Structure 1
Amino acid sequence: MNPSSKQTRTDRLITRITAWVALVILLGLAVWGGQSLWDLYHFEETNDAQIDEYINPVTSRVTGYVREVYYKDDQEVKKGDTLVVIDDDEYQIQKAEAEAALMTAKAQIGVLHSNTITSDKNAVVNQLQIGAAKAKLVKQQQDYDRYEKLLATESVTRQQFENVKMALDVAKSEYEALQKSYETSLSKTDDITAQKAVALAEIKRRQALLDEIKLKISYAVIRAPYDGKMGKKSIQKGQLIQAGQTLAFMVDSEEGKWVIANYKETQLQHMHIGQPVNIETDAFPGKIFHGEIVSLSAATGSRFSLLPPDNATGNFVKIIQRVPIRIKLTDDTNTTKGLRAGMNAVVTLKKGA
């Protein structure tokens, strides 16, 4: 066989294979291009999206040493479960002192009540004495009038008249003294009534202090505010913590999960609240999660930053802004159980849906 003829057939075979491969690649590119154009025309997509959950700090409301820690890293807890117990011995001493002070204030009310009864009885006695003194004064006045007439007729001596006059003056003084004593008894009763008001106010103040200490004692036991999952354990038994100090972070399972998708401002015209979306995560490739739009941010993400951009300097460069879109996951909790806050996601929605 002629070598040149064999080489020609080989070249033709290679050319034919190359043409078929090129045709397949061209068809693949055409299909990919058509699909991309179809998706671009009918769907809006972004890969600038993350799974989100409420992650709240668990803080201490009192200062003290940690007595016990009842949670571990990444432990699931139920609402009301005890997380941390702070030593409350100092607060128990303060409670006992406050209870004693409250008892003293209440006992003072009893003393004032007894004083009121005594003062009222003294007033009654003074009233009776005033009655007797008034009768005596009337009698002395009558004797004085009679002796004054007898003196005019010289039927009695001057000394006898002066004795009667002195007895009248003594009766008047006794009567006035008893009236003043009665008024003093009434004033003392009023004073005791005023002291009662002060004592009652002191009881309320002492009760408030006791309630405050009891509240602090209740704060010494830190419980889970809702169902959730604990983060990293950052405290140990015997550690001194301050009021307001963060003890741990807790993921709120009751509020559920959602997605924050940052769409370009040029994509917003096809979006509305209640629109269904498909979500795919890097953690579960090929698995589609479902959701719906619940809100569109009132401003672009950059406007909510600590230092929002100010383009008034003159060197303005136009950059397409992104608007955060909140998407609620509509799948059941068993389906979304594996999702974690911070995971990356790709969100796709159909235009006009």
Structure 2
Amino acid sequence: MNAVSKIEGDVANIEAEALEKPVVVTAPVQSEPEIQVPRQRKGRLALMVAVPLALIVGGGYVWITGGRYQETENANLRQARVSIASEAAGRIVSVNVSDNAAVKEGQVLFTVDPEPYRIALAQADAALAAARLDVEQLRAAYSQALAQERVTAGDVAYLKTQFERSTELASKGISAKSSLDEARHDLAKAEDEHTAAVQGIASARAALGGDPDIETDKHPAVLSALATRDKAAYALAQSTVRAPADGVVSQASSFKVGQFVGAGTPVFSLVETGDTWIEANFKETQLTHMKPGQEAEITLDTYPDRPLKATVEAIGAGTGAEFSLLPAQNATGNWVKVTQRIPVRLKVDTQGLPVALRTGMSATVSVDTGVSRGLSGLLPHAYAAD
């Protein structure tokens, strides 16, 4: 019994130890199969590398060779606008234009009542004729003064002889002293009359402008009358208002016959179609190589399929902010750098243009500066130093 019990106890201990220790089962190790990349996947990988590389190379080429053409959409077509006014005040008697009508240079636009100006011209003509007549009278007065001087000079010579004779007779006691005094008085009177005649000649010569042989129409009084007459004729001519240039009438819808206009008061506008330019606002960074005389291409939003040729005429004296009503003055530390725009004026070639241009049209401008970025565009500091 004791041996059996001992064996059972050993078996129980072995089973307890087996339960306490985990059993590790080792499986046979198998080698992983080699992964083979399909050819299609390799092609995709090459394409993913080649496309970005091509984009980088192409973009670099475009950047290096670009920058020659500077473009902006901030541009408008401009035409000269003239305010039409009459220099003659009066009531309108005829109107020969309408709103948005095309006119030619010299065409009659409207007429102010000319009768008051015709009357003024007639008065000026009469005054001119009177001035010419006055000059002829002054010339006759000068001749008369000369004749009077000759008469008085003869009287002085005669009375001087008489006075000498009376003096000689009185010294011999032949004539009375009263006769000598009378001769002396007559001589003094004749001399005074001669002096007055000489002054009369000087006065008549001065009235003729200092030149007795002066032409009638060169006399100061006649010149003044001529100027008054020319002024009256000019005022009469200004009663008919003509177009100063080829263009289109604007803002004339309320301009009618019978309306009274004052001298110099604008009544409507004329947009000159013969003076056309583009005002383009380029960024300041686009003006590095831009200068007057360079060629440009204009594309109007109205006629996108009809590009126009233009030439850079002038570059503005300052940015738009500098000429604004209230220029920005930043005196604080809250400053943000903003790229400014500078106006550039371009002369448009409109010869033979089959389309109508109107001021204010939006446009896109591309200026050929003739200078590409090159490698200097990638080296800003070295480029700035050059």
Partner residue, 1:222: 241
Partner residue, 1:49: 75
* 2:241 is equivalent to residue 203 of structure 1: no
Tell me the CA shift for residue 181 of structure 1. Answer: 1.2
Tell me the CA shift for residue 74 of structure 1. Answer: 2.2
Partner residue, 1:153: none
Name the SS of the counterpart of 1:301 in structure 2. coil
Change (3 A) 1:331 1:228: closer
What do you get for the CA RMSD once the two structures are aligned? Answer: 2.9
Change (3 A) 1:38 1:350: farther
* 2:257 is equivalent to residue 231 of structure 1: no
Per-residue CA deviations over 1:137-160 (Å, capped at 9, x if unaligned) read 22222221222xxxxxxxxxxxxx
Tell me the CA shift for residue 136 of structure 1. Answer: 2.0
Write the mapping of 1:55-204 to structure 2, written as runs, cut at 5 A. 55-147=81-173, 164-197=176-209, 200-204=219-223
**C-alpha separation in 1, matches of 2:63 and 2:345:** 22
**C-alpha separation in 2, matches of 1:92 and 1:314:** 71
Name the SS of the counterpart of 2:338 in structure 1. coil
* 2:351 is equivalent to residue 325 of structure 1: no
Tell me the CA shift for residue 286 of structure 1. Answer: 4.2
Paired residues of 1:227 and 1:254 also in contact (CA < 8 A):
yes
Change (3 A) 1:315 1:244: farther
Partner residue, 1:253: 273
Q: TM-score, normalised to structure 2's length?
A: 0.70
**C-alpha separation in 1, matches of 2:350 and 2:188:** 95
Per-residue CA deviations over 1:85-126 (Å, capped at 9, x if unaligned) read 111221222222222233333322233333322332222222
More helix by share: 1
Partner residue, 1:280: 299
**C-alpha separation in 2, matches of 1:62 and 1:316:** 56
Partner residue, 1:339: 357
Change (3 A) 1:273 1:143: closer
User: What amino acid does structure 1 have at the position aligned with 2:162?
Assistant: K
Q: TM-score, normalised to structure 1's length?
A: 0.76
**C-alpha separation in 2, matches of 1:211 and 1:288:** 50
Shifted more, 48-57 versus 326-335: the winner is: 326-335
Partner residue, 2:28: none
**C-alpha separation in 2, matches of 1:207 and 1:330:** 46
**Is there any run of 5+ residues in structure 1 with no aligned partner, and where?**
1-26, 148-160
**C-alpha separation in 2, matches of 1:350 and 1:303:** 27
Q: Percent identity?
A: 28
Partner residue, 2:375: none
Change (3 A) 1:183 1:283: same
Tell me the CA shift for residue 166 of structure 1. Answer: 1.4
User: What amino acid does structure 1 have at the position aligned with 2:318?
Assistant: A
**Is there any run of 5+ residues in structure 2 with no aligned partner, and where?**
1-50, 211-215, 372-386
Partner residue, 1:24: none
**C-alpha separation in 1, matches of 2:314 and 2:223:** 49
**C-alpha separation in 2, matches of 1:205 and 1:229:** 41
Per-residue CA deviations over 1:242-283 (Å, capped at 9, x if unaligned) read 11111222222333x222221112222253333333332221
Shifted more, 51-60 versus 343-352: the winner is: 343-352
Tell me the CA shift for residue 202 of structure 1. Answer: 3.1
User: What amino acid does structure 1 have at the position aligned with 2:291?
Assistant: H
**C-alpha separation in 2, matches of 1:66 and 1:296:** 44
User: What amino acid does structure 2 have at the position aligned with 1:242?
Assistant: G
Identify the match of residue 241 of structure 1 among 256, 261, 264: 261
Name the SS of the counterpart of 2:152 in structure 1. helix
User: What amino acid does structure 2 have at the position aligned with 1:98?
Assistant: A
Change (3 A) 1:352 1:182: closer
Tell me the CA shift for residue 48 of structure 1. Answer: 1.0
Paired residues of 1:291 and 1:331 also in contact (CA < 8 A):
no
* 2:314 is equivalent to residue 295 of structure 1: yes
**C-alpha separation in 1, matches of 2:293 and 2:161:** 99
